[in-house]
Each structure stands twice: as structure tokens, then as C-alpha cells.
Structure 1
């Protein structure tokens, strides 16, 4: 399906453009007399030194902004997609949006509006006119708010705001975490279609950066069909659980403790083993838990969708995406990973980025791991996911999706996502676990 072209962004950050312009102007005109050169050399050197100082300061400031943004929680994601119109279609409401790479992709999504107070489930494309750059999609359900009055919105991947909206019965529970008490949804297994139901196995769902626990609702029917109880958790700084003391993301190096608390809650309430489901940064959090926690032996498998398996690669990609010079991006990484950078980032402790590079640490993955990742993920590049599977083929399986962008593999092809996950977990459940203690 054709998509509208994105407008070209200006090359480089504003300070870089200004520097290039200054360099061009200062280089105009040839020096024709040695005396002129001698006379003005001190001034030229002074200008060059001043320019270098200004550029160095601007680079440091940009690196600081970049580093701080990475670890600062997103409280209310921006709603930047114009809602052009809501019309009556042959089968109900339809919404008209600008056509771009996100709005024209097939699948089912949610459209949040009115600052997140309104939510509607958006279905298939009903018409697409590349001439006027718009796309029309079915509105399957308006959960809350007045969609007709919406001016701008945000197309998201979570689909269902609450378990009840998905037709699921959930119990509200509280998980004791190191910084307080974190709310979670507990959902019973339902009717399993597996010949050997996963009795005593809980699916612990770990959402991504800037998302909340409703991100995992999509995976609950899959877990139910395997006979698993589902625990959809919140963790520090996500807007549901209490904030960390520094109110900063640890990119997985701190949040894993909240996953550990959730797994302990599951074990205390009847679970024998768990399977971790992680999306985006939730994948990094899950891998850190399996690597660091004493409860890691109770993890049967890990299922990751669009995961961050190498934060340094993600940071390099985001720097390129935002036209940030490589040197500035590297300085941003240094600020995140060194104690001196905490005055800029606000982190209570530096982030060990090397510990978050699972491509280099592929042999440290000791639990059967399934990675589902779209090749056109614009936020978390697919390369490290594929590389991790290549380096540890015995335990890591990689499944490539297309058109799904970031963490929307289920949205684009729910049947394939469900079939792949159930097939993988059935094999895990059927396999013996040498050395496991229960």
C-alpha cells in the first residue's frame, strides 16, 4: 500500500547549521597579502578559538539534553496526529487521518485523544486517497470520550484500555515493590486448548518505556489458551507504580527489581514457574531480571516483542534519527554511564550500558527466548535481535515481522503472533527441565 512521503527535515541540528554557515562566511575571499594576514592573524585565531568554544559548549549541552531525555519518564505522550474528520460509514463510524507510514498500516490500534481522556479502537483501512494524502479507517468502538469532537490524537498499539474492554475478568492486586506498592491485573487461565495445560505457570507481562500495563492485554488470550494465569504489572516511573527516588528510568538496570517482586508475588500465590513477556524496554527489563535475580531459575521462557537487546545500538540509532552528530551521541552515552554525568541526567547511579548489550553477551542468555521483531521498527532497530539469535541459536529464536513498526507485531498480524508464541511455548512446556527444583 502506498504511503505519503514524510517532509524532509533540515540537515543537522540548528547549532550545526549555524556553525556551517559561520565557517562558510569566514572562508570567503582569498588572502592576497602577507601583511594583511599578519595584521589580522590574532583576530582570526581569536574568532576560531571562540567558535570552537561555542561549538564545544553547544555539543555538551546537546549531549546533556539527549542523555536526560533517554532516562526521563514520559508522563503523557504527545497527541500529534490531526483527526481530520469523523464520518458515518456503511458499517458505523469512520475516522479520517493524514496518510503516513503509521496510519496506513493494516491492523487494529487504539486512538487516544483529549490528552488521553478519550480512547477509541481503530480498525481496518476503508479507503485511501494518495492524491489528497488522507486515509479513512473503521472505528470499531469508542471506549470513552467524544471522538467527533477530537482535534488531534495518537495512534497506539495497546488496543484495549482495560481487561474489561477486551472481555476479560481481571482482579486488581497490589505487588509489594522496593519503592512501595505497584498495582497489577491478575487474570485467570480460562479454558486451555493445550493437551497439557500449563498448570501452575504464570505469564508475567512487562510493558515498555512510556507505556502501561494495558500493553500486555493483547497477549492474555494466548496465555489463556496455554492454561497460564496472567499478571500484568506496573513498575517504577510508569505512572501507575510509585516513582523511583530519582524519578529516572534505569533502562532495565533498576526496573528488574520490580519484576522480581512480581515474580515473587506469583510464586507466593500459587505459581510454580513463570514465563516473562516483554515489550520494547520491557524486554531489556526482563533480560536483566533473568540475568540478576535469584528467582531466575523459575523462569521457563522469555517472549520478547520489539525488544531492546542493545541500548548502545538504540542510542546510536536515535542520535542518527535526530541528526545528532556521532561525537555528541557518544558523549550522551558517556553521561549516562558515568557517575559524573548524574548532575546532567538526574540519575542516582550511572547506567551500565555494557550490561545491557546482549549481542556481546549472547552466551549469557540461558533461558529459551523468543524474539518477535519488525524489520521496519523505527525506534528499536531489528539488527541486534537477529544478531542475538545468530550468536545463541540453541536458546534464542528470532521471528521477523514486516510493516509492524515498533511493538505492533500483534496488531498487524495477531494470528501469526499468537501461532508463533503458542508453538514456541508448547515446545518449552513439553521439554524436560534438567536441574529444575520445585
Structure 2
């Protein structure tokens, strides 16, 4: 999930101003004054509310300073920031997402010039030498071909139309009847879940990496709005339908960031919820109120503005402003409040230095549901990059959880 950026120095866009006027006209002057204290305050609140639900492409704002070496021994010098000085293996998108490189260990860090040189493991697409700006990402494998594993391009069909997906059947002659469904986060793509595929292949678990409504490769025009999990879970049900129709008896659903909010809803509201044997959640949104309060703070939004923006997401009167077909039920997506209703075994992987989604609600859920929730400690991975800082540890913890908590009923058990 990318940060929700709100520029306090820019004027509110014309589309936002029109939304405010439309809402006020629809409500009547008295109701408008009662609900929105002033045009200035409401304009900023509208802007924040719309930024939360409108899909956007993350910008390429990381400066690529220099690339040297040969293809088999290449290094890249980058501007140093809180992400690029963390050890591990990462992805670097460039050329508006057309290029991608796999970035490895830190080779040199200069705190005075604020630059860092890192190993280039591979350039998977594009010409890194000519790139000047990029985007740091946890997506190490941008496409199944970079995994070197068998896969198929398939299409799922939901009420919103066709949803592209990748299916990994596993190379084992005895695949399990427990499948994995991989659900990426807000502003991401199905590539985000590919880091989980190698360990699932080792466990002989067929796997689906899915897209869902409002994804960049699915959305049509400018009308798309994220449901923050309150609507996207329907597409997880469709993925489970596919798995059940092709030999699965049960599934483990993986969710990253907002993908975890989607996963929680599929596990509690979906028609296939009885087939979900466990959840693996990375950097999960457990409580949207907590996340959006945090996003408001880091954007220096006054509390009244932030509260009004959240109110807009949940109220029918604000639909002309947000563009949502139906208001969001943020209480239904608060799993600290709903902890007693949890009935699935869960592995929570959430770093305490997560800069986008605070780990407090994850710890709270783990504390009150020790019977179902396993939560290992991470403290330096930032948002959804626990695999990136230590792939071996992440794989071991996922494998241990699945083998001990999920696969005990699998017909292909060893």
C-alpha cells in the first residue's frame, strides 16, 4: 500500500471543488452548514477522502544517480532515504513502470552526500543505465517468468467483468488439495504476491495470484473507487470458486496491506469462507480507522478535517463527493473490535517500523486471540517488506505455520 499524499501547498483541484458544490446543493444549505463547517475545511476533507478511494499510479521519485559495472557485476548509486538504506533485496521500477531491476545488498553508503550504492542482481526489463528516476518497491519478482516456475495465464470472471490471474500448478506429481490465493495491496498488482510462490511450490501447493476490481489492469476510465476491502472480497470468492472447481478442498489466503483487509472480509462474509483453512497476512490493515488517522497525521491534516474525511467515506450523503456507489463500513473492517468473531488461524507478519500501516492493531489482535493468531516479531522491515529483508526467515515462518496449522488435514500430507 502506498502512502496517501495530500499536498497542503496546492489548491484543491477543480473536480474537488465541484464535488463540494454538488454535495452542498444536494443537501440543502442548512444541512450543508451543519455537516461541513466551511468551504475551506470541507475542500481539504473532500480532497483527502477522494485520495483514499481513488486508485493512482505511485510516482517515480527516487533519483537514480549512476550505474556502473558490467551486466554480471553492476551497481547502482541512488539517493539515500529511509527505504534505500535498509539491507535486503528489493525491486526498482523505472521508465514509468516499463523497466524493473532486482536490487541487492548495500555496497557503500555515504551519509554526508546522502547516497547509497547497491548491487544490481538483474535487470528484468528496460535499460537501467539510461534511467534517471525510479520507484523503490518490495516487488522483487515483477512477472512469473523471473521465478523460473511453471505458470499459466488465466482469467477469472466476477460481477465486474474479467480479472486476469496467474496460476502456478506446482511441478510436483502429488500436488496438495490445499491451494493458496495471493491478494495484493492498495495501488499494487498481482506481482506483489510472487515472492510467496517459491515456498508454496516447495510445499506442493497450487497457487493463484489474482487481480481484483479497481486494479490498474482491470479498471475502466476514471470511475473506479477502492472499497478498502468492503467490496473487493467478492473477487476472492471468485478465485476460491476456481480453486474448488479444479481440485482444491481448502485454501490459504495471503493478503498484503489492504489485501489483508480484503482477506478478512472474504473469510467472514464470503460464500466460500468454510473452505478457508488459514490466513497469512503481511503488513495487514486490521483497523482502517487507525490507518487513516495515521495517514492524516503524516500529511499534517488537522483532526477535524481528518474526521470529516472519514465520515464522508461512511455516509450516504457523501456519495456525490467520494464517487463511491455505497458507503464503506469501516466498523465491519475493524478486527480488533471484532476479534471475538475471528474463526480462522492467522499468521500476522507486521514490522513495528511500518511507516504506512501502524502495527498496533495487529499486536492488539494477536494479544486477544492467542488461540488463533501467530505473530513473529519484525522491527526494521518497513511496510510489507519483511520478505525483502530476510527471505529465508519469512519462508521458514510461512512454511512452519502452514505445515503445523493448515496442512494437517490435507489428503496429500506426507
Structure 2-normalised TM-score? Answer: 0.88
SS at 2:170 equivalent: coil
Offset at residue 95 of structure 1 (A): 0.5
List alignment gaps of at least 5 residues for structure 2: 1-6, 11-35
Say if 1:246 and 1:348, in contact at 8 Å, map to a contact too.
no
Offset at residue 400 of structure 1 (A): 2.2
SS at 1:239 equivalent: coil
Pairs within 5 Å for 1:333-412: 333-412=310-389
| Cα-Cα RMSD | 2.1
Say if 1:198 and 1:429, in contact at 8 Å, map to a contact too.
no
Distance 2:327 2:47 in 1: 16
SS at 2:230 equivalent: coil
Say if 2:278 and 2:406, in contact at 8 Å, map to a contact too.
no
Pairs within 5 Å for 1:129-278: 129-191=110-172, 199-243=176-220, 246-278=223-255
Distance 1:245 1:328 in 2: 25
Offset at residue 123 of structure 1 (A): 0.7
Say if 2:183 and 2:210, in contact at 8 Å, map to a contact too.
yes
Return the structure number with greater relative CO, CA threshold 8 A, min gap 6: 2
Q: Which residue of 2 aligns with 1:279?
A: 256
Offset at residue 344 of structure 1 (A): 1.1
Distance 1:299 1:286 in 2: 10
* Alpha-carbon displacement from aligned partner over 1:183-213 (angstroms, at most 9, x marks no partner): 1100022349xxxx77111100000001100
What is the total number of aligned residue pairs between the two structures? Answer: 380
* Alpha-carbon displacement from aligned partner over 1:384-435 (angstroms, at most 9, x marks no partner): 01101111111111122122111111001111111111111111235469xx
* Alpha-carbon displacement from aligned partner over 1:146-201 (angstroms, at most 9, x marks no partner): 11110100011111111111112210011111111111100022349xxxx77111
Tell me which of 104, 107, 121 is aligned to 2:88: 107
* Alpha-carbon displacement from aligned partner over 1:82-123 (angstroms, at most 9, x marks no partner): 101111279611100111110010111111111111111111
SS at 1:83 equivalent: strand
Structure 1-normalised TM-score? Answer: 0.83
Larger radius of gyration: 1
Distance 1:262 1:66 in 2: 32
The runs of at least 4 aligned residues of structure 1 exceeding 4 Å deviation read 12-15, 242-246, 430-433
SS at 2:376 equivalent: strand
